[in-house]
Chains A and B, each alone.
Chain A
Amino acid sequence: MKVKRRSSQADVPSMAMGDIAFNLLIFFVILARAQDDSHLQWQPAAAEEINATGTAKVAVLIDNDNKYYVNGQQVGAAQIADEVDALLGNAPAGERIVLFKVHREAQALYFEPAIEAISEVGGDIVHVLEQKQE
């Protein structure tokens, strides 16, 4: 006697595609947030002449509590040079831009060691500022 083999279907239901995409997106957004510093509290200083900064691999930020962050991760003052050096790697001159975001009221005691650390590892500092209002 011949027994007919039954074929089973195992498709991903197309109804769930939107939900899958949604969850994937949430996953990548959270992953990207870890390197982002948009949640940190700081106010830029003003300057008369500012230019577009372009893209940079590294951003050093000093917030309104005088805490240091490299690409959104909190670090100590002594770690800035090593962290920036590791992120810049062997990038050639011109591609070693480091965005320097400092709260306008931060004191020299805090921002000068950071400037020194960045220039020590060959980073090209770009001070992130806002246009001075007349």
Chain B
Amino acid sequence: MVEPPSSATGDIAFNLIVFFLVCASVQPDSGRQQTLPRSEQEEEQQSENIEVQLGRNTVMLNGNILRQQDFAAALKRALNGKTRAEDRVVIVKSKADTPYHHWVVVTEMIETAGGIVTIQTEEEQQVVVPGG
């Protein structure tokens, strides 16, 4: 029986490593791009914009609680006739315990309906009472 020369062991190991490295690095990431308007734009327009509030499993559109399957249709109705980009801004307010998978589903619905997602965090939601 002819054995491979032991001097080639290093080369064999080298080629094996290169093979596994190439295999491991060819899986590309996939996902969804999201452009968020800058916060100064948001401040100017927030009074007229559509508001979506997210809880752990709930979704509210302009204060009305909805089932997730009804949300897309209701949002489409709310965006109907709004042609200017600034009117299509949808402010998303999330409760601290809102899970990311729920947030992703709802923001995907907003973007599919033609809305422009912008987020408002807990700090920005605090109401300052004058003279308080």
**Could you tell me the distance between the alpha carbons of A100 and B94 in the complex, rounded to whole angstroms?**
18
A-side residues, CB < 8 A to B, are: 15-19, 21-22, 25, 29, 38, 44-53, 62, 97, 99-109, 111-113, 115-116, 119-120, 124-131
B99: A residues at CB distance < 8 A: 104-108
With A125-B36, A128-B29 given, is the CB distance from A104 to B14 under 8 Å? no
By beta carbon, the residue of chain A nearest B28 is A52
Tell me how far the C-beta of A95 lies from the nearest C-beta in chain B, rounded to whole angstroms: 13
Residues of A within 8 A of B104 (CB): 45-47, 127, 129
Total inter-chain residue pairs, C-beta < 8 Å? 128
Q: Are B32 and A50 in contact (CB under 8 A)?
A: yes
Give the shortest distance, in Å, between A14 (CB) and chain B (any CB).
Answer: 9
**Cβ-closest chain B residue relative to A100:** B31
Within 8 A of A (CB), among B23-81: 24, 28-36, 38-39, 54
Determine chain A's interface SS by DSSP, over half rule.
mixed
Residues of B80-126 contacting chain A, CB below 8 A: 94-101, 103-105, 108, 112, 119, 121-122
Residues of A within 8 A of B32 (CB): 47, 49-51, 126-127, 129
A-B contact pairs, 22 of them (CB 8 A): A21-B10, A22-B10, A22-B17, A25-B14, A45-B105, A49-B108, A49-B112, A51-B33, A52-B28, A53-B28, A104-B99, A107-B97, A108-B94, A108-B103, A111-B103, A112-B122, A113-B121, A120-B39, A125-B33, A125-B35, A126-B34, A129-B104
List A contacts of B30 (CB < 8 A). 50-53, 128-131
Judge whether B128 is part of the interface by a CB distance below 8 angstroms. no
Query: What is the interface residue range for chain B against chain A?
Result: 35 or more
Complex alpha-carbon distance, A134 and B34, angstroms: 24
- In contact, B100 and A18 (Cβ under 8 angstroms): no
Residue on B nearest A54 in the bound complex, by CB: B28
Q: Report the Cα distance A116→B97, complex, angstroms.
A: 17
